[in-house]
Amino acid sequence: MAAILLAEDDDSMRRFLKKALERAGHTVVAAAQGDEALTELQLREFDLLLTDIVMPVMDGIELARQAAEIDPGMKIMFITGFAAVALNPANRAPEDAKILSKPFHLRDLVQEVERMVAA
């Protein structure tokens, strides 16, 4: 299965998503902010960055841009209630990033993660 870096500032959502992905067989490292996730990216390799967009200190789009520079082969998925923000070309989000809009069912998240990792 995949090594996933999860960046989500909402504590309960982060725990919930981490648990669901681990139950699906993935290894998950969770970070509460974008800058914390960036530190994790510098320490180890991940197959997928799963990030919220709106976070304090460093938002998910900036995190994704820097992550793509560190590891161009890593897949990126945004989980957000603000899909239009990610889709705005002015934000320069990585072009091949997937967007999963909140609210979503955990089954849908796990399926999308598995599709991205397999691709």
Q: What is the mean pLDDT of residues 75-84?
A: 79
Domains of the chain: 3-118 (3.40.50.2300)
| Cα 65 from Cα 115, distance rounded (Å) | 22
Q: What is the mean pLDDT of residues 12-41?
A: 96
Highest mean pLDDT out of 11-15, 57-61, 105-109: 11-15
Residue 102 tokens read as: 């909140």
More confident residue, 79 or 6: 6
75-80 vs 48-51, strand pairing mode = parallel
Contact 109/68 with Cβ under 8 angstroms? no
Give yes or no for residue 91 having a pLDDT over 70: no
Using a pLDDT cut of 90, give the percent of the chain over it.
62
Full-model pTM: 0.90
Give yes or no for residue 89 having a pLDDT over 70: no
